[in-house]
Amino acid sequence: MFNYIIARTPCKALIDGISSADDGKPNYELAMKQHLAYLDALRMCGVEILLLPPLENYPDSVFVEDPALCTKHCGIVTRPGADSRRGEIDSIEPALRRFYGDNVERIEAPGTLDAGDVMMVGDTFYIGLSARTNAEGASQLVAILEKHGLTGRLVTMEKVLHLKTGLAYLEDGNLLAAGEFVDKPEFSHLNIIEIPEDESYAANCIWVNGNVIMPSGYPISESKIRDLGYNVVTVDTSEYRKVDGGVSCMSLRF
């Protein structure tokens, strides 16, 4: 059960966000409309939202999932793998302290960690080793988690930006998986719901209090999720996809 959400209003510099896609620059006005609809979808799930102001010096700052990780015992300020995002951590830490007080930890240099590479399954946190999260950052996170009675497990990956680009844990033992993650032995104990290759973007979605919020336009994936018994809410994230963002990237849920 999640009680709180932290999100951030997209800045106008979003159009210059980091991108590996070839879909052009986002339309800022449309991105704002999509973000408001995303927040509305979250509110329908019965959570309280802390909406942070835009950070114009950081084009990717709407993606609050990367500079922080929220657990039930502590908040963790990460050290993003992209140099251009490091400054975001100074503004996310005060938000974490509003909820966690002194129970806020940090990833330190030379470690790097994007929390988009971290997936929570109960008290276990799977940590993807990626271009943004290095072994030192992952090791520091494991130590922090163990300090608070939680567990961290490393996952090697080769093809996607972040672990949660291709995975979404929907609670109840159900895991959406796409591409290289379908046959990963680390997840063999879970009920794997395979997302087809041409709908792989739909693998990035979020469970919020019995609801699944997912990107619109992926009917096969939507049907599979509905068949599991979840209430599905679709949101248009087309402008965020242009800068490598998905549904999970735009909120911290705890």
- Residues recognised as catalytic: 162, 249
pTM reported for the whole predicted model = 0.97
Token readout for 81 is: 């793998």
Q: How many CA atoms lie within 13 A of 125 on its CB side?
A: 25
d(CA 101, CA 190): 34
pLDDT in tens, 101-145: 999 999 999 999 999 999 999 999 999 999 999 999 999 999 999
pLDDT band at 208 (very low <50, low <70, confident <90, very high): very high
Per the CB < 8 A criterion, the answer to whether 127 and 115 are in contact is no
pLDDT in tens, 48-103: 999 999 999 999 999 999 999 999 999 999 999 999 999 999 999 999 999 999 99
Return the CATH number at 19.
Answer: 3.75.10.10
Residue with tokens 């591409």: 179
d(CA 155, CA 162): 11
Structural domain of 40: 4-253
d(CA 236, CA 223): 17
d(CA 34, CA 168): 21
Residue with tokens 């939202």: 49
The number of domains in the chain is: 1
d(CA 33, CA 212): 20
Token readout for 133 is: 């999260």
For residue 110, cis peptide bond before it (omega within 30 degrees of 0): yes
d(CA 93, CA 100): 10
How much helix, strand and coil, in percent to the nearest 5, is found in the chain? Answer: 35, 25, 40
Query: What percent of the chain lies above the pLDDT cut of 90?
Result: 97
